[in-house]
Amino acid sequence: MADSPEEVSAKLEQELRRGVIMLATLSQLRTAQYGYSLRQALATRGMTIEEGTLYPLLRRLEGQGLLVSEWRIEDGPPRRYYTLSAQGETLFASLTQSWRNLTGIVDGLIDEDKSRKKAAP
């Protein structure tokens, strides 16, 4: 059975966010963060990521060599802090450039459509 329009919309939005989540995460790990503090930092900037998505992502990025982590004890229980590795910093710079190019192009495409509608009698 075909998905309802709401389900299709939710799936497409999820696909759209999937690639962005990684870049958003890397952006916040230029300074060391542990899982919960990172999620809070992203949420306060309007980027809410479910904990079930974010915490495993940190491990996968570390497995790919993009993050390094260490256990620290600072006013509370032991926490695993993550930060960008050298490889992660390079990739973050490259992805940032790609993201800016892409958003510029997509913005142009969307605005072109808007201006065409305005120009129509």
Partner 1 sequence: MSAQFPKPDELITAYVGDVMKHLPRKQRDDVGFELRALLGEELRGRAADAGRLPDEAMTLELLQGFGRPDDVAARYHPPGVPIIPPQQTVAFAWTSLIGVALQWATTLPMAAQSGAPNWIGGWWTSYGLGAFWWPGFLVTVTMVAAFVRLRWPAAEEAWKPKLVDRDHINRPLYAVGLGLALLGVGVWVALAWWATTYAGTNHLAGVFAFDADFLATRAPLVLLYWAATNALYVLLIIEGRCRPLTRRIEIALTLALCVLLMWIVLGGRVFVQETANATTEGALVLVVVAMLADAAWKLWRRRARIRTPVAG
DSSP H or E run through 38: helix 35-44
Residue placing its CB nearer to partner 1 in the complex, 15 or 50? 50
Binding mask 54-83 for partner 1 (x = CB under 8 A): -xxx-xx--xx------------xxxx---
For residue 33, the SS3 value is strand
- Binding status of residue 36 toward partner 1 by CB under 8 A: yes
Task: Name the CA dihedral angle for 70, 75, 78, 84, rounded to a multiple of 10 degrees.
Answer: -20
Q: Is 44 near partner 1 (CB under 8 A)?
A: no
Nearest residue to 89 (alpha-carbon basis) of 56, 65, 60: 65
Tell me if 50 contacts partner 1 by CB under 8 A.
yes
Footprint on this chain of partner 1 (rule: CB under 8 A): 34-36, 40, 50-53, 55-57, 59-60, 63-64, 77-80
